[in-house]
Amino acid sequence: MADFATAPSRRALLQTLAIVPAAASTLPIVSPWAETLTTLHNRYDDHPAVLARTREGRNLSRFRYQNAERSCQLMELGFFSEPRHAPPVLHQAGFVTQQALCAYLLDIGFTDAWNARHIKQDIAKALAYANATGLGYDCRDVTRLATVLSPYWKWGYHYDDWEEDRPRTGGFLPATITPLARALVEHVRDVTGHPRPNGARALRREVRS
């Protein structure tokens, strides 16, 4: 298996793009991560992704990040804060992390169509692809949370009272889920350089007060 920890960084890749004329609307990438991506394509039986950074992809990436930011702030308001609320908070966290990770993948050159076909609501897969292409977010708790979340639709589903029908929370509680989602969103913002959405600072001050 490829060693993702030693894969070239996203910064190193983008430095190689500096020689491409700024007027170019599409920037094809000769990926230094070809080997690690091939490993993941084979693992998940995915169609190979052809990375190409575009203005459209960058704009959509910003939109996805800002979706993640707004939804994360709603989580932080704490409407569901008791241990019994773990399932709805996991569903919220699934949306937040999916949007944040897809924001990164779009920014690095994955297409929205490829993400829709292959990532869907699989947070663990999205995290694996992001880290394989330079996200650099090696957090054991987030990796474990991503596994619990995947696919995140299951946390919005109504289950009967039979305990065996319910997915396992992995011991995660609202008080531990929200900070992990926030940390991932902040990392994606730092790496992509996207601005927070309008009104985000005021809402964050409200959350903290």
Interval 111-133: pLDDT, tens: 999 999 999 999 999 999 999 99
The neighbouring-strand residues paired with 27 are: 53
Number of other residues whose CB lies within 10 A of the CB of residue 15: 10
Closest to 192 in 3D by CA, of 102, 128, 132, 122:
102
Residue 33: the pLDDT is 86
Task: Report the C-alpha gap between 105 and 96 in whole angstroms.
Answer: 14
Give tens-digit pLDDT for 126-169: 999 999 999 999 999 999 999 999 999 999 876 655 556 678 89
Task: Report the C-alpha gap between 58 and 106 in whole angstroms.
Answer: 7
Residue 198: the pLDDT is 86
Residue appearing with tokens 């894969």: 7
Task: Report the C-alpha gap between 135 and 73 in whole angstroms.
Answer: 22
Residue 134: the pLDDT is 95
Instruction: With beta carbons less than 8 A apart as the criterion, state whether 103 and 188 touch.
Output: yes
Residue 195: the pLDDT is 96
Closest to 102 in 3D by CA, of 86, 118, 87:
118
Instruction: With beta carbons less than 8 A apart as the criterion, state whether 109 and 29 touch.
Output: yes
Residue 19: the pLDDT is 33
**Token pair of 4, please?**
């993702």
The neighbouring-strand residues paired with 28 are: 52
List all residues 6 or more positions away from 134 whose beta carbon is below 8 Å from its beta carbon.
Answer: 7, 8, 9, 10, 11, 12, 13, 33, 108
Residue 16: the pLDDT is 46
* Encoded amino acid at 35, one letter: E
Residue 47: the pLDDT is 95
Residue 161: the pLDDT is 57
Residues of the chain with pLDDT under 50: 1-8, 15-27
Residue 208: the pLDDT is 57
Task: Report the C-alpha gap between 200 and 179 in whole angstroms.
Answer: 17
Task: Report the C-alpha gap between 152 and 97 in whole angstroms.
Answer: 10
